[in-house]
Amino acid sequence: LRAGDEAAAEGLLRRLMDIYGAESVVLELQRLGAPGDHRLTLQQAALARRLGLRYVATGDVRYVHPTDYPVYDLLA
């Protein structure tokens, strides 16, 4: 979708639906701070709704509290 090829994105999702079953395919929506992210997530949600897929908004969470950073940094 980011490249503007909605047909290819839909084709890929339909292929995943055929392989795994529509009930097992969930589209992840995530804003990473890149230009166009808002438009992209709206397009993704619309595509998921059109195909009858569930979707979930996620974030790139690494730790819960600022005091958890040293452990994250150690493991990263």
End-to-end Cα separation, the chain, in angstroms: 31
Q: What's the rounded Cα separation, in Å, for the pair 21 and 34?
A: 31
For residue 10, the model assigns a pLDDT of: 97
SS3 53: coil
**Measured between alpha carbons, how far is residue 43 from residues 5, 59, 61 in Å?**
11, 18, 23
Range of the domain at 67: 6-75
> Domain count of the chain?
1
- From 54, 62, 44, select the one nearest 20 (Cα to Cα): 54
14 assigned to some structural domain: yes
pLDDT tens column, 7-64: 999 999 999 999 999 999 999 999 888 899 999 999 999 999 999 999 999 987 888 8
66 assigned to some structural domain: yes
For residue 2, the model assigns a pLDDT of: 83
**Cut 0.85: pTM above it:** no
1 assigned to some structural domain: no
Q: What's the rounded Cα separation, in Å, for the pair 57 and 18?
A: 23
